[in-house]
Every structure is written in C-alpha cells, then in structure tokens.
Amino acid sequence: MATSSKSSPLVQLFTALEAEGIKFMLVGMSAANLQGVLATTVDVDVWIGLPTREYMRVINLCRKLKATVQSPNKVFLSDEMPVDFVYTLDGLNSFETELRRANKLRFHGIKIPVLSLEQICKSKEVTDRDKDKLHILLIRQALKLQKSARTKAKRR
C-alpha cells in the first residue's frame, strides 16, 4: 500500500498503520459518511486493533507523520484534521470479529476496513449520547433505503 507525500495526511496515516502491521478500521460518522450517510462530523474515528497499553506505537507513528499529539487518543494531522483513536467500542464484538465483518471500501485510492452501518448504529445506541441521537436516525434511514433498493433490484 504505497503512497506518496502528495497523498492526504489521512491516507498517509492509514498507509503507515498498514506498513507497521497495526490493524485498524474506520468507525463513527466518517465510516457512515463513506457508506452514504449524509451527516457532518468534525473528526475521524479510527478503531485500533491493539491493546490500549500499546497506544504509544500509534502516537509515535503519528509524530513521524508530523501530527500534533493532543492526548493518547487524539491527534491533529498535518492538515489539522482531528483523528480520535479508540481501542474498544461499546456494544460490539471484539476488534478481530468486527474486522472480519468490516466492509473493505475505497478511500482516496486505497482500500480500508470500514465498520458496517449496522454496527456503527449499534455502538451509538449503546453509548446513548445526546449527540448521537440524530446520527442514529440518519443511519437507520440509510439502512432502510439500502434495504429497499436491494429489494427492488431483486424484483427486476
């Protein structure tokens, strides 16, 4: 998964994680956006397949990419894109199980694992944060539309 310095800092991050053998997947509303949910989000959430105690591997990698480290879980990439690293997600199976079920989607010329809309919704329902309530509705609506489109396609 080679990338040039002209690639976006986020693509450079994903490529660097892959090169270091650090498993990851895109989660949260950025993952939902990539799957057709139209909603705004200000950061990118990345689920890291390492124990929390190994977070320094990810942070050191980010420093090499000229990211500004705010905390063990939050960095700002060189283009000021905020990235939140998560090491567990409430209401879901293990990282390995979810990674096997993840969608592999194209993102700026590379393929990355992306948590499914169903699982994003499930995690947001379990955390029950006020800020997620609208996102849950939008994800459910997108899932209904996708199901309807599949049903129509089968009838043809």
| Six token digits for residue 147 | 């199901």
Angstrom distance (rounded) from CA 111 to CA 7:
14
Could you give the 3-state DSSP secondary structure of residue 102? coil
Angstrom distance (rounded) from CA 104 to CA 111:
6
Separation of CA 47 from chain center: 6
Structural domains in the chain (count):
1
CATH number at residue 34: 3.30.460.40
DSSP state of 67: P
Q: Could you count the other beta carbons within 10 Å of the beta carbon of residue 86? A: 16
Domain presence at residue 3: no
Tell me the average pLDDT of the chain: 93
Q: pLDDT digit string (tens) for 111-149?
A: 999 999 999 999 999 988 888 999 999 999 999 998 888
Q: pLDDT digit string (tens) for 84-105?
A: 999 999 999 999 999 999 999 9
Flag whether pLDDT at 4 surpasses 60: no
119 is in which domain, residue-wise?
9-155
Range list of H helices, the chain? 9-19, 28-34, 55-64, 95-101, 117-127, 133-155
Predicted pLDDT at 106: 95
